[in-house]
Amino acid sequence: MKQNYTNIVVLILRVNFLLFLLVFCIQTNYPQTGLGINTVVIDPGHGGKDPGAISPNNNYEKTVVLKVSLLLGDLIKKNFPKVKVIYTRDNDRFIGLAKRAKIANEIGADLFISIHANAIESPSAHGFETWVLGLHKSQAALEVAKFENSAILMEENNQQTYSEFDPNDPDAYIALSMRQNAFLDQSLILANAIQKDSKLKLGLRDRGVKQAGFMVLYRATMPAVLVELGFLSNPKDERLLISKNGQTKLANHLFEGFKNYKNKYDNVDESLSKYNDENMRDSTKTQSEKGKIYKVQIATSSVKIPILPENFNGLKDVEVYISGKFYKYTYGLTPNLTTINEQLEEVKKAGYESAFVISFKDGKRLDWIKQ
């Protein structure tokens, strides 16, 4: 009984420590300090001494995913020349999971896309799937994560590098899944953009967007996804994965997902860029003589959120402005205090109990409101 109590205390301390690290990382290492998707890290899984999945025909995951990754990077550079593309590896070499995420963190990447391929004993399993970090909801999801995380055991000094995590311990994945909650919404949006129409465009079974505890995602301090392109253990999937035409189709599909995600956030950035003095004056010609307008602030986020009603409890015409490194979301715009207080009540009924009124003059936020 005493031993069980001790184990519980140790587990609680361990989880609390991980939560502390989460808060610390968000506050001190947040990379997205500018607008737009400016830097993308593409991570071809495995490499070097780690072949990853191997097909019955001796085709290696590490080779397939490198080719698709390089094609994806070329598409991004060609279509978005201002976007910087970084590869965690661009040749056949081994890189530790922690180092892959570190590369993205140190350059302040806006997105992290890890590319993989699957294989299991049964040749009947097939299809395309996209993963985000989270708590596995099935034994199959756990097994996928355990396989991808097993690369840890090939790294030198892995016990020191990953002292907080044992890739073979199912309980370790519970604490691990808590790490990326700050970026989960954006990761899910990216994952869904990549997964969309995979059956129609690739002819592969759509296995959906899933969550599991991937170490390579755990250490990334930005929206991050892991894509499983298909199953090397399935004859049909394998033909697509190893052919030049198939790799081109896969890269194009990934690019379309990236482009759709980027366009959503570029629309947010466009609204931000228009939020200047001239635009403010144009939109507030009915201001009072003092030139003051009022808005209701409903949310603050360290990551950009698409301005869609479904992201704000059904509220339409939400706007956003930047304050430091944070995106602040507002509802309503009026020079009339009575009107803005009515809109405040409307926002609270929508679920934003902590919303409050803010004021602007000539496009600049005022520190306080004199009512």
pLDDT digits (tens, 9 = 90+) for 259-293: 999 987 766 545 444 444 333 333 333 333 356 88
3-state percent helix, strand, coil for the chain, nearest multiple of 5: 45, 20, 35
Which CATH number belongs to the domain containing residue 293 in this structure? 3.30.70.1070
Q: Are residues 173 and 301 in the same domain?
A: no
Q: Are residues 253 and 300 in the same domain?
A: no
pLDDT tens digits, one per residue of 133-181: 865 444 444 454 454 544 444 555 544 444 444 545 554 444 444 444 5
309 three-state secondary structure: helix
Residue ranges of alpha helices (H) inside 110-243 are: 139-149, 158-161, 172-176, 184-195, 198-202, 215-218, 235-242
Domain assignment of residue 26, yes or no: no
Distance CA 117, CA 132 (A): 15
Residue 267 confidence (pLDDT): 60
Q: Which of 249, 267, 285 is the last residue of a domain?
A: 267
DSSP 134-147: S---SHHHHHHHHH
Residue 303 confidence (pLDDT): 66
Nearest Cα residue to 143 out of 214, 88, 226: 214
Q: Are residues 309 and 282 in the same domain?
A: yes
Q: Are residues 260 and 299 in the same domain?
A: no
Q: Are residues 238 and 311 in the same domain?
A: no
Low-confidence stretches of the chain (pLDDT < 70) are 1-35, 134-182, 266-291, 302-303, 324-326, 363, 367-371
Query: CB-based burial of residue 157 (10 Å sphere; 0-12 exposed, 13-18 middle, 19+ buried)?
Result: exposed
Domain assignment of residue 5, yes or no: no
Question: Containing domain of residue 95, as a range?
Answer: 31-267
Residue 157 confidence (pLDDT): 58
Domain assignment of residue 217, yes or no: yes
Distance CA 298, CA 313 (A): 11
Q: Are residues 253 and 281 in the same domain?
A: no
Q: Are residues 180 and 68 in the same domain?
A: yes
Strands of the chain, DSSP E: 39-44, 84-87, 111-118, 128-133, 206-212, 224-231, 292-301, 319-323, 326-334, 356-361, 364-365
Distance CA 46, CA 55 (A): 15
**Residue whose pair of structure tokens reads 């085709």 in the numeric block:** 59
Domain assignment of residue 15, yes or no: no
Q: Are residues 263 and 281 in the same domain?
A: no
Q: Are residues 182 and 220 in the same domain?
A: yes
Domain assignment of residue 21, yes or no: no
Nearest Cα residue to 62 out of 72, 74, 53, 71: 53
Domain assignment of residue 307, yes or no: yes
Q: Are residues 137 and 184 in the same domain?
A: yes
